Structure 1
Amino acid sequence: MRSVYIITSKFQTKTEVIYVTKSPKIPYYEKVYNKKKNMSVEQETNRQQIEEGLAKVETKGHVFYNPVQEFNRDLSSSVLSAFVNEVREHGDTTVYQAGVPYEKGISILEALSATGLRSIRYAKEIPGVKNIIANDLSEVAVQDINHNIELNNVGNIVTSSHSDATMLMYQHRKEQFDVIDLDPYGCPSIFLDSAVQAVKNGGLLLVTATDMAVLAGNSPETCYVKYGAISLRIKCCHEVAVRILLQCIESHANRYSRYIEPILCISVDFYIRVFVRVYTGAQKCKQTTSKLSHVYHCTGCDSFVLQPLGILKRNAANQIKYALPTGPPVEKICQHCGNSFHIGGPIWSDPLHSPDFVRKLINSVSTTLGTYKRIKGILTVILEELVDVPLYYTLERLAMSIKVETPSMVSFRSALLNAGYRVSYSHMNKTSIKTDAAAKVVWDIMRCWEKLHPASEKMKTDNIIASKILAQIPEKEYSFQVHPKATPASKQQGLLRYQANPLPFWGPGCRSKAMIHGDQNTSKKRKNQGKRKRECSS
């Protein structure tokens, strides 16, 4: 009987997966080596060509590449270009050019590089770079990286590295990088401890997470194991996911007297991507508890209340004093629908973005990028978001809870604005309602809407949640007259704000792999096709 072994890494997720046949005489690693050594010239040179941005790369098809993440790479290149301008020394009048190494430029580590595409794009598109290290654990990937560095003539800036990502970053705790980019397959948490130590004070950390099922509440116990927080199945689960990742990064940074400052955090397609600056300061780390909160989520009407872990107070001398909040912030059952609460978190409850940085980024994004329209649209929506309001409601969920016709977005936003509250979209959901109004106000507006568009008596009687919510009388009447600011500028300008998915190649895809005896594996699959049907007929 023949067996299959997988060569992978406990520490690395973008890696080479090789299928080999077990032999009692020849060790499996010798089989892999002999197979590679005897590979024909045609197989070795049969490469897939990829053009993206200013880079052109070739791969033998063994390493990970996802064309849908062009948006991710375009945005990352734009953010780094804006970051370079922001960290330039005061009075530095040097005119930086892309593709030229500068002694005073920034150093970049792409810890999980795969084809090397991202690093090569950084080298050719970002002015003011000193050097870039493109690292991967897979030997096949490093061969591709070296080939692509030569193909793009960026050997003066990009250097390949064949190392475990965590060990490489631990080795650079003293000789730190200005920028570290982590874009693994799945959960990034295993890389964070080394990453927060290997980035310079004021440096930039870029982190991607694609394990959205875990972060979005499908497996809260797994989320706690990986990120140290409980996820929730809630309509604003994508924002909860971003905030869980941020608290995880902050937790790792605090262990070394460091803290983070998010400048841009997004949730798009099948992943989340955060851009945070890392600073050193033990005193500032004490403020972390005031940036984190637990979330009380109603299991009936989807309302939520945040409970901060700590609060800041100022004494008569304007000195900051640290205190603990009292709680819980809710009754045992929800005051709106009478259901119980789930408790999630802790999550990051401070702002997700730096409006000043986002504004600069919008003005500096290159119009030649393949996803320029989408980048501009999403960044514009982000700039319109209420940065001091964590989480959001969704319009259809509010209407569904009381079994009523869904109001138009303009009508609902107008009701909030007419009442003196602030409201915005979230870039994460096209029906999102992000507002500083209390949940009581939100439900009072829905009760007023129901008066104008009554739900059927049968619907109200059959649904306990709807009947309990509608049984309460609104404290005041809310006007749905159209407010002049009800339609945001991003929509008026016709920007591409919410891209329809799925597109081709949508999703995180499979782990990169190089298959040996692949024909045998394929023939086995073909042999098993229709096996159950054949057995039943016989």
Structure 2
Amino acid sequence: MVQDFHVVCEGGVEFFVPSVEGDVDSSMDVFYNPVMESNRDISIAFIEAVSGVGDRYLDCHGATGVRGLRMADRVGELDVMVNDWSRDAAGLIERNRDYNSLDVEVCSVDANVLMSKRRFDIIDIDPFGSPVPFLDSAVRSLTPGGVLCMTATDTAPLSGAHKKPGIRRYSAIPLNTPYHKELGARILVGKTALISAQYDIAINSIFTYYKDHYFRSYLSTDKGAKKANKTMEKIGFLHHCFNCGSREMVLGLDSPGELSEKCSCGHPMSFCGPLYLGELMDSKVLSQVLENLNKDVYGTKKNSMKLVETCISEAGFPPTYYDIHNLCKMESIRAPKTQEVLVGLRERGFIATKTHFNLLGIKTDADVSNIKEVLNELA
């Protein structure tokens, strides 16, 4: 175990972290990643917003314990358990717990074993890489109506850059399109929905987003075969044309044959899925998250609030976004300002907004031909 430590303050909680040089990696038994502070800030504000779902909270991959300790300090009604398979990590978590005089249970076992033995109302999965190895145990461990929070840092397999690992890990064909970040998020939620449905558990995405190098998803759960069937109706497939940028979607695991093999431009369509095509954002809950972020002192307050605000604006829009620069490259024209494109689409009666997935992206109910018309007029 690393012997040198220094004290860090995050969210009003002081804690010891290992003193290491360079970036964190999976070979470290104990590490603290300051880049993920926004992830933790938002998670505190989110759990405050949904705290009525129950009080038994599990942080599966504690590391230094910062997330769970901050949760116990800020959301006082929670019964917090922080786990880490590493005994060195568990020892540091206990040290940080005692340093802050917090009532937190610390455990050091395999997370799947722990979730197979205990029931929780809120489970947070934040491994180094994919959350898939823990999803089966997590959905079975959650009480009815519980909330699953998870982080996935294996963005390349989810987004189609590493196709074979994506297929193997997520039982879906990813696709490296100009809007691959949203496809990756929807494949992650879709995989969770498929695992949950095996146990007649329905999931609903309250907040799923992409930031920096990771996907983050907050899912509510409900018990019942009919409810699980409703979730399955939101699983579907997508075809994308790399020639013109057109895409089409179809709902239902039994309906991929309904997709066109060729685009209207004559180019073959590329396949993606299965993936979740339901709503990713619950604007009502996110409005409360935004309020919670605003009323407290968070280290990433400004950036985190901006992210949540953009996600609220995306609620209710059709799946997938359009990359303005990608479409302009197809048309061999200069790229106009994003706001100009949004105004142009709205003037034609379409709904349009920015997306957090891509600073150069827009969400709209216009099809690709309508967007290109606006781009050419603005060029």
TM-score range, shorter chain: over 0.9
1:114-158: CA deviations, max 9, x gaps? 1111111111111321x211111111111111111111111xx21
Equivalent-residue separation in structure 2 for 1:64 and 1:54 (angstroms): 19
SS in 2 for 1:432: strand
Equivalent-residue separation in structure 2 for 1:326 and 1:78 (angstroms): 39
Counterpart code for 2:72: A
Counterpart code for 1:370: G
1:329 aligns with 2:259: yes
Q: TM-score, normalised by structure 2?
A: 0.93
Of the candidates 24, 31, 39, which is equivalent to residue 64 of structure 1? 31
Equivalent-residue separation in structure 1 for 2:117 and 2:305 (angstroms): 38
Equivalent residue, structure 1, for 2:318: 389
Of the candidates 86, 90, 96, which is equivalent to residue 138 of structure 1? 86
Counterpart code for 2:109: S
Moved over 6 A (4+): none
1:51 aligns with 2:48: no
Counterpart code for 2:65: G
Equivalent residue, structure 1, for 2:340: 411
> Across the two proteins, how many residue pairs are aligned to each other?
369
Equivalent residue, structure 1, for 2:77: 128
Equivalent residue, structure 1, for 2:63: 114
Counterpart code for 2:350: Y
Equivalent-residue separation in structure 2 for 1:265 and 1:285 (angstroms): 19
Equivalent residue, structure 2, for 1:7: none
1:325 positional shift:
5.1
Relative to structure 1, is the Cα distance of residues 217 and 325 closer, same or farther in structure 2, using a 3 angstrom cutoff?
A: closer
**Is the 2:68–2:80 contact (alpha carbons within 8 Å) kept by the matching residues of 1?**
yes
1:292 positional shift:
1.2
**Is the 1:350–1:388 contact (alpha carbons within 8 Å) kept by the matching residues of 2?**
no
1:396-452: CA deviations, max 9, x gaps? 011000111112223322221111111111111111121111233233434x52xx7
Q: Give the unaligned 5+ runs of structure 2.
A: 20-28
Equivalent residue, structure 1, for 2:330: 401
Equivalent residue, structure 1, for 2:145: 202
1:79 aligns with 2:22: no
1:327 positional shift:
4.7
Counterpart code for 1:380: E
Equivalent residue, structure 1, for 2:100: 152
* Equivalent runs, 1:175-190 vs 2, <5 Å: 176-190=119-133
Equivalent residue, structure 1, for 2:112: 166
1:281-324: CA deviations, max 9, x gaps? 111112233201211011223321112126xxxxxxxxxxxxx6
**Is the 1:81–1:127 contact (alpha carbons within 8 Å) kept by the matching residues of 2?**
no
SS in 2 for 1:396: helix
1:214 positional shift:
1.0
Counterpart code for 1:381: T
SS in 2 for 1:286: helix
SS in 1 for 2:81: strand
1:386 positional shift:
4.2
SS in 2 for 1:425: strand
Which structure has the greater CA radius of gyration? 1
Of the candidates 218, 225, 231, which is equivalent to residue 282 of structure 1? 225
* Equivalent runs, 1:442-461 vs 2, <5 Å: 442-446=371-375, 448-449=376-377, 453=379
1:342 positional shift:
1.0
**Is the 1:63–1:114 contact (alpha carbons within 8 Å) kept by the matching residues of 2?**
yes
Of the candidates 274, 295, 301, which is equivalent to residue 372 of structure 1? 301
Counterpart code for 2:156: A
SS in 1 for 2:233: helix
SS in 1 for 2:267: coil
Q: TM-score, normalised by structure 1?
A: 0.66
Equivalent-residue separation in structure 2 for 1:441 and 1:228 (angstroms): 34
Relative to structure 1, is the Cα distance of residues 329 and 287 closer, same or farther in structure 2, using a 3 angstrom cutoff?
A: same
**Is the 1:386–1:435 contact (alpha carbons within 8 Å) kept by the matching residues of 2?**
no
Equivalent-residue separation in structure 2 for 1:326 and 1:381 (angstroms): 32
Equivalent residue, structure 2, for 1:291: 234
Equivalent residue, structure 2, for 1:316: none
Counterpart code for 1:350: G
